[in-house]
Structure 1
Amino acid sequence: MKPIKITITSLLISSFLFFSCNSLKTAVYDQYSYQKTVEIKVEASNLIDKATTPYEDNLQEVGELGLEIQKIIEYEKNKPNNEITYAMWQVLADKDKNLLVGFFKRWKEKGQLNSFFVEEAKVQIMQAMDLLLEYEIKKDKETEDKLLQLITQ
Structure 2
Amino acid sequence: MKKSKLPFLLILITGFLFSCSVLKTAPYDQYSFQKAVEIKIDASHLIEKAENPYQENIIDIQKLKNKIAKIVEYEKYKPNNEITYKMWLLLADENKNLLAGFLKRWEEKNTLSSFFITEAKGQITEAFDLLIQYEGKKDPAVKNQLLELISKN
- The normalised TM-score by structure 2 is 0.90
Runs of 5+ in structure 1 lacking a partner?
Answer: none
Provide the residue aligned with 1:86 in structure 2. Answer: 85
- String of CA shifts for 1:5-40, please: whole Å, max 9, x gaps: 887787566545433322212111111100000000
Aligned length: 152
1:71 aligns with 2:93: no
- Write the distance in 2 (CA, Å) between the matches of 1:122 and 1:39: 16
* TM-superposed deviation, 1:142: 1.6
Aligned-residue offset at 1:81:
0.8
Alignment of 1:38-53 (within 5 A): 38-53=37-52
Matching residue of 1:30: 29
- In structure 2, what is the Cα distance between the partners aligned to 1:134 and 1:43? 18
Distance 1:7 1:96 in 2: 56
Q: Which residue is 2:147 aligned to?
A: 148
Identity of aligned residues (%): 55
Q: In structure 2, what is the Cα distance between the partners aligned to 1:114 and 1:49?
A: 11
Letter in 1 for 2:83: I
Does the residue aligned with 2:128 lie in a helix, a strand or coil?
A: helix
Report the equivalent of 1:62: 61
Question: Which of 43-52 and 142-151 deviates more?
Answer: 142-151
Partner AA of 2:128 in structure 1: M
